[in-house]
Chains A and B, each alone.
Chain A
Amino acid sequence: MTTSDSLAIRVQHVSKQFRLGARLNKYPTLRESLASGAARLARRLAPSGDTDPDEAARLLRALDDVSFDVRAGETLGIIGSNGAGKSTLLKVLAQVTEPTTGRVELRGRLGSLLEVGTGFHQELTGRENIFLNGAILGMRHSEILRRFDEIVAFSEVERFIDTPVKFYSSGMYLRLAFAVAAHLEPEILLVDEVLAVGDAAFQQKCMGKMSDVARHGRTILFVSHNLIAMEGLCDRVIWMRAGRLVEDGPARAVVASYLRSVATTQTERQWTDPATAPGNEHARMHAVRVRPEHGKAGDAISVETPFVIEFEYWRADASARLVPTLHLYNQQGATVFNVGPVQQSAWRERPDGPTFIRDVCHVPGSLLNDGLHRVSFALIEKQEVVFWLDDAVTFDVLDDVERRGSWYGKWEGAVRPRLDWHTETIIESGS
């Protein structure tokens, strides 16, 4: 039974400011504080009228007038790029950090999976850590005792429960940590990016546990970059950018508009004035774009979409043979490939002389993995780089729902090709 019209969370005009100086220089020394204190005193004694402009510039608004309500039993997702304020918001709700202004009301016990395994101690055994971690998360001793067997079974580390966790593999460690947190039974659960934990089977269990919690009328706030999981789990999603709430609505609609916004970043660049365009005595850029094979720059590219990368430039040198090449890097900065058209005879027949040129590179679908990719462009003459343009375009390859299967985590690897599989029976069973 859910009390669907009662509120579980009410967030009213919450803002959170950080002083950038204090964050960057993590540990101010006493000497510095005494010096700045003296400076403050001097300013107070001789007021110059205005407040210090530097001071205002150093303030970072991690949350900026955020308001929303969450009904009891609702599963709310929070999306946004890094630094949008999602984690700060959860920290305010978890009372880890105080809001600068505003007010939050929480109805019921709040549990958080802000970081699983908080307070785990390497020297203590699995058993001891369950009790310690449970106490840290706010569980009563009797409650932990009652659920102890269940926690151990869920974590699948029965055999090592009396071994210090420093001997655990990272997978075992995370499973145990998640198991404790998952059995907390709060009325409001905060989840931040924990679904990437463990192997596929364990992920399935975690997702099952979360939907289970949701079905029992609990309220869940879920922060993740995994938009697929977000759409599957959440009734409603809020999208944050630069500390502000951009959109609040049904999961599918908000995720779609978020995707549209991130997909249009830097997929096309044009330089109308040759004087300011990047270039040198060999060549001068006019435009760079990345677009689906049958679309225009800015259209979404998923792992399945064949797409093209186009470079338009003026070639200055009449006699030179300039060979274009491109580097494609993934989000982790690894080079996925470095290609040029040298092997193709068709390209060898291109005209000589000063010309306005468009080089197009066709990339097939089902090649790249999902995520952000960067392209660098280079012109090579006799094995020497004569022109180089870093970060010519940046584009996002979106995940594809159909190809996920039951896997909610990220597929690993720089590429994600669609390869043929088949199965042969070598020996009939029973023969």
Chain B
Amino acid sequence: MSLEAPVTVIEPSKGWVSLRLGAVWRFRELLYFLIWRDVKVRYKQTLLGAAWAILQPLLTMVVFSIFFGKLARMPSDGVPYPLFAYVALVPWTFFANGLTLSSNSLVSNQTLLRKVYFPRLVIPVSAVASGLLDFAIAFVVLLGLAARYGVTPTAHLLWLPVLVLLALVTALGVGLWFAALNVLYRDIQYIVPFLVQVWLYATPIVYPSSLVPERWRTLYALNPMVGVVEGFRWTLLGTGTAPGPMILVSALAALAMLIGGLFFFRRMEKSFSDVV
């Protein structure tokens, strides 16, 4: 039986290592179970469970509508401000939670890191992906809200999966850097919430991107969440323009973050269990 058994070679890895994404694929069942665990535990541990998925963007939308919509009279491309804000907050909440959870994922799973072998990449990936259910719930509410304001979705909706993927890639790309750094420097735990807050204002959530001067738009779109939010508004509300050069810039920026994050993560991976 052990004659044709697979041979594993363990050697110190040197320099810039290969990504070994094949190993992640072989552990896809573990990935699925970790996502399932995160979702299940989150809903079991909290009093309101799945309701948080709705309340979090909804309450933020109410606050934004009062202060930015009513008091500051922020322009909203002719769309009712609550809908304008909520369309952006749904993908934003998914991104922000994914980034926060993945940044802390290695630290909060340190017993696993110290005891068992599996591609470490599985952990931050599952942290980001576990937010997809929350996103789906919040999205159903979004459709309801749109219907209430008399907005009917068009065929543009088909673009949505691409936009969600872009948000996921961005959260994971940045999350990978922070997750690995967090093992070494617990300072990251304090940096992430601050970064998320600043990032929120660097993304057209409370304001329309049309406020940003034309010549700065390309630079602005280097923030991949600009592309995501603009895309969401276009697919659901029909505002702005079709995903053009702006979303291309966003996608390229997100991809660059992800690839950089993957290599950085793999390079740091070998020291995780010794340091965490």
A residues in contact (CB < 8 Å) with B? 3, 6, 8, 18, 22-23, 26-30, 33, 72, 91-110, 112, 114-115, 118-119, 121, 123-124, 128, 131-132, 135-138, 140-141, 187, 217
Q: Does B197 contact A (CB under 8 A)?
A: no
7 interchain residue pairs of minimum CB distance: A108-B5, A95-B117, A104-B10, A135-B33, A118-B115, A106-B8, A30-B187
Q: Are A95 and B10 in contact (CB under 8 A)?
A: yes
Q: B10's contact among A27, A28, A29, A103, by CB below 8 Å, is which?
A: A103
* B12 CB contacts on chain A under 8 angstroms: 98-102
Q: Are B186 and A29 in contact (CB under 8 A)?
A: yes
Interface band, chain B = 35 or more
* A93 CB contacts on chain B under 8 angstroms: 10
Q: Are A109 and B273 in contact (CB under 8 A)?
A: no
Q: Are B184 and A187 in contact (CB under 8 A)?
A: no
Q: Are B33 and A132 in contact (CB under 8 A)?
A: yes
* B9 CB contacts on chain A under 8 angstroms: 103-106
B residues in contact (CB < 8 Å) with A? 1-3, 5-13, 27, 29-30, 32-34, 36-37, 40-41, 44-45, 111-118, 184-187, 270, 273-275
* B275 CB contacts on chain A under 8 angstroms: 22, 26
> Other than the known A96-B115, A98-B13, A119-B111, what 13 A-B pairs have Cβ atoms closer than 8 Å?
A8-B2, A28-B185, A96-B113, A96-B114, A96-B273, A101-B12, A104-B10, A105-B7, A107-B7, A108-B2, A112-B116, A114-B115, A123-B45
* B41 CB contacts on chain A under 8 angstroms: 121, 123-124
* B113 CB contacts on chain A under 8 angstroms: 96
Q: Are A124 and B40 in contact (CB under 8 A)?
A: yes
Chain A min CB distance to B248 (Å): 35
Chain A min CB distance to B183 (Å): 9
* B111 CB contacts on chain A under 8 angstroms: 115, 118-119
Q: Are B44 and A94 in contact (CB under 8 A)?
A: no
Closest residue of B by beta carbon distance from A93: B10
Q: Are B112 and A118 in contact (CB under 8 A)?
A: yes
A103 to B45, CA, bound (A): 44
Closest residue of B by beta carbon distance from A118: B115
Q: Are A118 and B116 in contact (CB under 8 A)?
A: yes
Q: Are B116 and A98 in contact (CB under 8 A)?
A: no
Given the known interface contacts A22-B275, A27-B186, A135-B33, the answer about A96 and B117 at a Cβ–Cβ threshold of 8 Å is yes
Q: A121's contact among B5, B11, B37, B117, by CB below 8 Å, is which?
A: B37
